[in-house]
Structures are given as C-alpha cells and as structure tokens.
Structure 1
C-alpha cells in the first residue's frame, strides 16, 4: 500500500484513477437495483418484486439501465473526487497528528470531507438519473440526459439543475463519513487479528469489508436519501408537490409515518453489498497495481 503521507502529483493522479475505476464498476453493478429503489421511493410501486416484474413486463430488460450514460461518467467522476478528497483530508489530518494513524472520528471527518467535495457533482447527476428513471415510457418528458439538462435549464435556470443541493450535501457528508470510517475499521480489524499488512489482505476479504461498509452507509443515511429522491423527482414550478426538503419530510411523515423514510431499503441493501464490495475492491487493487 502507498505511503499515506505522500502528497506528490503522481500520488494524487493515482488516487483519482483508482476512484474512477471504482465508480465505473459501482454503476455497472448497481444500476438495476438503483432503478427499483428510486421507483419505490417515489411511490410508483409498493414492493421490490412488483417494481421488478412490472418494469420488465412493460419496458423490457434494458429499462433497468435507463439513465446509465449519465451516471457511468458522472459516478466515475464522483468516486474519483470522493477518494481524492478522502486521501487529501487524510494526509492533512495526519500532518497534524502525533501518530501515523487517524483516529476513527478523524476517518469519519475525512469521509465527510469527501462527501462534501463530491456533492456539487452528485446533485445534478443524481437528479438527471432520478428524473429519467421515474418517467414512464408512455409519458416521456425527457429523451435523455442532454435533453433533460436543456429543458430544466431553459425553464428553471442553474437553480433547477442544482435542485435539492442542500439535502444532497447533508446526505453525502454523513453517508461517506460512515462509509470510509466503517471500511477502515473492518480493514484494521483484519490487520490486527491476523497481524498482517494491508497489502497482504486477500482480495475477497477486502470485498467483504467493502460490502459491510456499504450496509453501514445505507442503514445510517437512508432517510436522507429518501427525502433527496422525493425532492429531485418532483415536478418543477407550479406543479411541484414539495416546497423543499423539509416540506418533503413533513409530507412523508404525515402520509406514511416513520416507515415512509425506509421505503425501498431492501433493494438498496441488496445493491449496496455488491456495489460497495466492487468499488472498494477495484480501488484497492488499482492502488496496489499502480503502487
């Protein structure tokens, strides 16, 4: 594993490259799960099985990769930013420590910095994906990501492109704080238990650590994601159902109680296992390969 205090341009480039590889793997694994999750969160279906069956019957198998072009590039960029920002924050904190290791609260802080740095990219990318995923083939408003950007910008301006940015930033900070913290915790437990270096941890165990970190992320941040999906899937202008994230939260609680903030959790957790495992494994292996 590379020196965690190395701040050279070469090291930064490797952090970015590894993150992009991880992001691309994440999208290819998780897109079908994500479509089911978003359609459940926005009330189109009542169960994951119903969402899967009806989507497949009415729109065919390619429907599960609706809106993939945008996140394939966007998420690759997002995860690059996440890992770059995480390692930059980690190096900054290490430079002020008397220890060669971060404390667990510092890992959370470095992860939160990664989420905050990532949120300006995540917000627009996820809104485009959600709008494309939630529209029905019989009532299409957008023909693709580019068309969606043009129409939103024409009617709402830049503010429309970045709709839901506050709740996105809050979700990103908390969720990625949990994600990086939990992954590093599981990795360090393996190192301590087997008395080995990080580079000696087998790939399958890295994947298991990544999978567990994905579960921690979503269990800790899912209600924020539900609210974000509702805001970003809403109509614009006078047809909008919500006045903002706080109003979406109030309406959800009034209509469905606390259970409303956990709609779509099952497919999300199912998605998180392979996606998070694949992301951390591909990043870790890329970092080992690049040195």
Structure 2
C-alpha cells in the first residue's frame, strides 16, 4: 500500500509539473536555450502532489500508528490483529470517516513536500554546474544525492507537524470504546489543541522528537526512489520540465 501512495505522489507530481509548465511558470535554461520549469514551480508541484496523496496516505498512517502502539507481547492480548481488523474496528466505532482521524495533521505535514522538491531541483542545478570540472557527477548520481539530501529538508521542515499528526492519530478513542458509540459530546483532538499540549508538556523540543531516526531512514529510501523515478522519466522520454 505504501508503494501505491508513492505512485500517487510521484505520478501526480509529474502531472503538476507539466501543468505548471503549460501555465507559463518557466524560465530560460541558459545551457540549452529552452524553457524549463522554475525552481519555485517544482516546489509548488511537490506541494500539490503531497496534498493529492493525503487522501490515501492518511488512513494508512492511522493504521500504522494504531498497530505500532500495541505493546503487548502476545498477539492474543492485542486489540488489533492486523491492519484489516484495525480498520474494521475503527469503522465500527467512528464510521468510515474515522479512518481519516488526524487528516488535518497529514495535510499540514505533507505540504512540506514543497521543500523537498524545491531543494531537489536546486541541488540538481547545483550539480549541473560542476560539469566540466574534476567534481562532475553523472545525472544518475546527482539524482541519488539530490533525492537523499532533499529528504533532509523535508523532514527538518515537516517533523513538527508529523509529531502533532502522530499524536492525533494515537488518540485512544477506539481503545476506550471498542464496541459502542462514543459518549455524547466526545470530540477528537484538533491540530491546534494537540500542538498546545505538546508545547505545554515538552516545550519546543517535543516538536522535533524523532528527527534523528527520520533522517537516518530518509536518505537511502528517498535517494533510491528519486534515482529510479528520474531514470525512468529519462528512459521514457517523459521529462520535459528540465530542458
């Protein structure tokens, strides 16, 4: 399912790039004399692609958080036997909309794909300026390094919203009321209320909790993804926004 989310993200990214190019958000490439998408437009395409993928990403994030919070060693003692069972129980209690608990947090978090694709394109142009020097790198290697380093930018910008999102999704409502409707007046926590709670309990440090592991994971995963994605675009002759 995560592959499907990545497919939606990267597939829609390409569509938005072409749309923005058609809308005239371009500049002259001095190396080729052709029009190319501006760095800012690459960021906007990333933001739009991030928002497009939230509809699929938010339920998957919710199920992941619920299952990760189960600390019982025995499977028989756990509330959820797996993602399908977890989804069924959430729907039984909250209805289908319950699968999008924490959706606001997902939206805020994934808007930071602007910074990821903005920095990716900026880095790619930086590597292109090394052509003809002893530090010249191949396009594939530039894709790999730019993707990995660009993911650092994403997580540095997104980690506060990601922490809020995870706590919104970790709200214990399904655990407290597994078979009955919620009590009258019950409300799911809002993005603002959870942010205030984090600040009150942990200060500003609470918003960057987990940044280190995210960065360690981000580089190899995203570097590889960008290498494959950009390589496929070149092979298929589909990349027309970086001419």
Give the structure-2-normalised TM-score.
0.81
Match of 1:75 in 2: 2
Indicate if the aligned counterparts of 1:206 and 1:277 stay in contact, CA closer than 8 A. Answer: yes
1:72-221 aligned within 5 A: 74-97=1-24, 99=27, 100-138=35-73, 139-173=77-111, 175-194=112-131, 201-221=138-158
Match of 1:22 in 2: none
**Which structure has the greater CA radius of gyration?**
2
Question: CA deviation digits over 1:111-159, x for unaligned, max 9?
Answer: 1100010000010011111111121134411111110111100111012
Corresponding position: 1:264 with 2:222: no
Question: CA deviation digits over 1:84-133, x for unaligned, max 9?
Answer: 21111111111122642122221111111000100000100111111111
- Distance (Å, rounded) in 1 between the aligned partners of 2:187 and 2:195: 12
Indicate if the aligned counterparts of 1:191 and 1:201 stay in contact, CA closer than 8 A. Answer: no
- Structure showing the higher helix proportion among its residues: 1
More off after superposition, 106-115 vs 277-286: 277-286
CA RMSD of aligned residues (A): 2.2
Which structure 1 segments of 5+ residues have no match? 1-73
1:38-57 aligned within 5 A: none
- Distance (Å, rounded) in 1 between the aligned partners of 2:175 and 2:78: 19
Q: Which has the higher contact order (CA 8 A, sep 6+)?
A: 1
- Distance (Å, rounded) in 2 between the aligned partners of 1:124 and 1:81: 15
Runs of at least 4 residues off by over 4 Å: 237-242
Q: State the number of aligned residues.
A: 214
Which structure 2 segments of 5+ residues have no match? 28-34, 177-185, 238-243
Give the structure-1-normalised TM-score.
0.68
